[in-house]
């Protein structure tokens, strides 16, 4: 095994990108670079070369990614709204479209702080890795944040991420988000409920990475249309929120119309659909 100079390193990374492209990876060149930087510990563009043993170690990582193992699982990290979260197999990998959902919740919490001059109360239902809860805590420093999750592995990871990125700012509750007893002491007093519940309709997973590696518990919302759990979240949010409080909930684009109707039936006065970065209807915003 020999060390690589900078030119051989860059050639190896280019070739890895071509390998990943042939395997159908959505962002082959970016993934090839990130895998190299994971081993190098610095940006490829700043590296003068690579040490002995880099090439076979890199080839192993590229092979795993070509087999469609998620990049986040290989690296052990994922990124969300500028923060680096720990990521582990068995817990849902947060997606870029959820950054828009978190942003809507942040805006709603900031409005409470600005207009009412007090600390907003925010509840994140189905928190998973804790990404949305941490984002709200980090971006709205006065917010009081609770996060609910049922799965044990996700609860452990959420606690780890919250304590590292927003120490002492998020209270993690293990429980069923549809159970009226969970956070019952907050009923009628919450300013913002945000949720990214399982909502995928049966058989509607869009990519191999998701199908093979994300847990079914975090994906499928129940029923052919995937609406069973999202509808239950609407009902629970209606009880948690104060008058004027805001629900922000991610959903499948096919679910926009029924969820707006369900929110009105649950007592919300105004319900609109927000778009993701591709322009698709991605989340419900409903005012209690």
pLDDT tens profile 7-20: 999 999 999 999 99
pLDDT at 188: 98
* Cβ–Cβ under 8 Å, residues 128 and 158: yes
**pTM for the predicted model, two decimal places:** 0.91
Task: Please give the helix or strand (H or E) that residue 59 lies within, else none.
Answer: helix 54-66
Each residue of 232-262: pLDDT tens digit?
999 999 999 999 999 999 999 999 999 999 9
pLDDT at 224: 84
pLDDT at 223: 80
Rounded CA-CA distance 50/142 in Å is 45
pLDDT at 206: 62
List residues bridging with 84 in a β-sheet.
Answer: 79
Q: Angle at which helices 6-22 and 54-66 pack, to 10 degrees?
A: 20
Q: What percent of the chain has pLDDT over 90?
A: 88
Each residue of 92-134: pLDDT tens digit?
999 889 999 999 999 999 999 999 999 999 999 999 999 999 9
* Cβ–Cβ under 8 Å, residues 132 and 105: yes
Residue 66: CB atoms within 10 A of its CB come to: 18
- Report CA torsion sign: 102, 199, 74, 64: negative
Task: Please give the helix or strand (H or E) that residue 144 lies within, else none.
Answer: strand 144-149
Compute the half-sphere exposure of residue 200: CA atoms within 13 Å on the CB side of its CA. 16
pLDDT at 216: 67
Rounded CA-CA distance 229/197 in Å is 7
Each residue of 183-238: pLDDT tens digit?
999 999 999 999 999 998 876 656 666 666 666 666 677 788 999 999 999 999 99
Rounded CA-CA distance 40/155 in Å is 32
């Amino acid at each position: 095994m020999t060390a690589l100079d900078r030119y051989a390193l860059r050639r190896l990374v280019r070739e890895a990108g071509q390998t990943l492209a042939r395997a159908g990876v959505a962002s082959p060149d970016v993934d090839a670079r990130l895998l190299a930087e994971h081993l190098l510990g610095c940006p490829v563009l700043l590296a003068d070369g690579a040490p002995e043993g880099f090439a076979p170690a890199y080839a192993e990582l590229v092979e795993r990614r070509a087999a469609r193992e998620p990049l986040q699982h290989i690296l052990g990290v994922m990124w969300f709204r500028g923060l680096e979260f720990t990521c582990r197999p068995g817990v849902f990998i947060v997606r870029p479209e959820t950054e828009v959902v978190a942003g809507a919740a942040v805006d709603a919490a900031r409005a409470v702080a600005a207009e009412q001059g007090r600390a907003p109360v925010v509840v994140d239902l189905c928190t998973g890795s804790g990404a949305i809860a941490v984002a709200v805590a980090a971006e709205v420093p006065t917010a009081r944040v609770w996060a609910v999750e049922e799965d044990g592995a996700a609860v452990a990871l959420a606690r780890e991420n919250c304590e590292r990125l927003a120490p002492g700012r998020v209270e993690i509750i293990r429980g069923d988000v549809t159970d009226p007893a969970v956070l019952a002491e907050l009923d009628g007093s919450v300013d913002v409920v945000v949720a990214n519940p399982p909502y995928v309709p049966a058989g509607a997973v869009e990519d191999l990475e998701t199908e093979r590696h994300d847990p079914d518990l975090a994906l499928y919302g129940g029923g052919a249309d995937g609406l069973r759990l999202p509808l239950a979240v609407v009902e629970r949010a209606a009880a948690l929120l104060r008058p004027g409080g805001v629900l922000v909930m991610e959903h499948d684009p096919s679910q926009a119309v029924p969820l707006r109707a369900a929110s009105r039936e649950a007592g919300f006065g105004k319900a609109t659909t927000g778009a993701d970065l591709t322009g698709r209807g991605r989340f419900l915003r409903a005012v209690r």
